[in-house]
């Protein structure tokens, strides 16, 4: 049985500025310490596209 590769995403509703495209659990919450389970997530920011994710980000900014 072939399983799909897991992918994690974080939707960021603020201004991108100089924010990274990927974040790591150890860096965000444990000051980069060596932890037993490392999690890497791709960050999704607002863009110029008209897809459902971008519509969700714009919706979140309203509320």
How confident is the model at residue 34, as a pLDDT?
A: 93
Backbone angles phi, psi at 3, to 5 degrees: -100, 145
- The H or E element containing residue 42 is strand 40-44
Q: State how far the Cα of 25 lies from the Cα of 1, in Å rounded to an integer.
A: 29
How confident is the model at residue 62, as a pLDDT?
A: 80
**Which residues span the domain enclosing 28?**
9-62
State pTM to two decimals: 0.73
Instruction: Give pLDDT tens digits for 40-63.
Output: 999 999 888 889 999 998 898 886
Other CB atoms closer than 10 Å to residue 27's CB: what's the count? 14
Q: Is residue 36 part of a domain?
A: yes
Q: Specify the number of domains making up the chain.
A: 1
Contact criterion met (CB below 8 Å) for 44 and 12:
yes
Instruction: Give pLDDT tens digits for 6-43.
Output: 999 999 988 888 889 999 999 999 999 999 999 999 99
Q: State how far the Cα of 31 lies from the Cα of 27, in Å rounded to an integer.
A: 5
How confident is the model at residue 17, as a pLDDT?
A: 83
């Amino acid at each position: 049985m072939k399983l799909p590769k897991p992918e994690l995403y974080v939707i960021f509703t603020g201004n991108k500025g100089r924010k990274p495209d990927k974040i790591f659990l150890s860096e965000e919450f444990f000051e980069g310490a060596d932890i037993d389970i490392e999690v890497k997530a791709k960050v999704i920011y607002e863009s110029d596209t008209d897809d459902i994710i971008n519509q969700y980000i714009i919706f979140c900014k309203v509320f």
